[in-house]
Amino acid sequence: MPRNQFQRMFFAFITVIITVHAYVFYSLYVVNGTTLMTLNGTHSVLGAIRNQGGVYMFGQFLPIWSVVLVEFCLAYLLEVMMGSPCSFKLASKVFDPRRNHPMIFESAIICATVGLMCPAMSFLAALLYYPYYEGFHVITLFANWLKLVCLNFPFAFFTQLFFIQPLVRTIFKWVFRKDIARREKEAHEKEAQGEKLKPVDETEAIADIIKRVNEIEAELKAERQK
């Protein structure tokens, strides 16, 4: 859908904003909500976060907004530098955007993006949320990374495929509706011009080409004889 660099950056920006907020909610409420409430003796996740002084990150407790900001910056850099370009290349190796239905190709891009971004972001999350107060060990980091991949991948796949990407494309089409309408109009005009310029009888056109080739060959033969 995006045609230039600005549109690609904007598309990635919307995607990451929605995705990061969804992941923070998923991590705090769905995955760790019960644990947080039990440890802090509260009946709400927000109350538990307030009691413990924030969300654990970098070996200390930080406000939720700072956690969202850090994850947004990291996810946006990964999406722009790796996710978007690499996912398009991977999808293009399996499907041809000129021949396959756009929905099939877009779904392939989404699947490739999830396959790249989920392990990468899970590894960064394993570093960000590692329990440094217990010391550091590579095996523990690797185990935490695999655990996060197993937890995040199903959520990432289904939300991106059925919720986030359809919503992002709807927002993108609304923001750039004039540019999209202009491109569609130009495409229709080119298609109409192509139909008008198309010869009525293709056999006559082929015959004219063969006749012209024979004339050129005769002229070249005459030149050689001189």
pLDDT tens figures, 143-194 = 999 999 999 999 999 999 999 999 999 999 899 888 878 887 777 777 677 6
Q: What is the pTM of this model?
A: 0.77
Neighbours of 187 (CB within 10 A): 10
Within-domain flag for 183: no
Neighbours of 194 (CB within 10 A): 9
pLDDT of 205 reads 45
pLDDT of 214 reads 63
% of the chain exceeding 90 in pLDDT: 54
Q: Are residues 70 and 104 in the same domain?
A: yes
pLDDT of 164 reads 94
pLDDT of 200 reads 41
Q: How confident is the model at residue 137 (pLDDT cuts 50, 70, 90)?
A: very high
| pLDDT value at 202 more than 50 | no
Question: Phi, psi (5° rounding) for residue 55?
Answer: -105, 135
Coil/strand/helix, residue 57: strand
Q: Are residues 151 and 192 in the same domain?
A: no
Tell me the sheet residues that pair with 62.
55
pLDDT of 58 reads 86
Domain encompassing residue 44: 5-175
Neighbours of 118 (CB within 10 A): 19
Q: Are residues 101 and 207 in the same domain?
A: no
Structurally, the chain folds into a number of domains equal to 2
Within-domain flag for 181: no
% of the chain exceeding 70 in pLDDT: 84
Within-domain flag for 192: yes
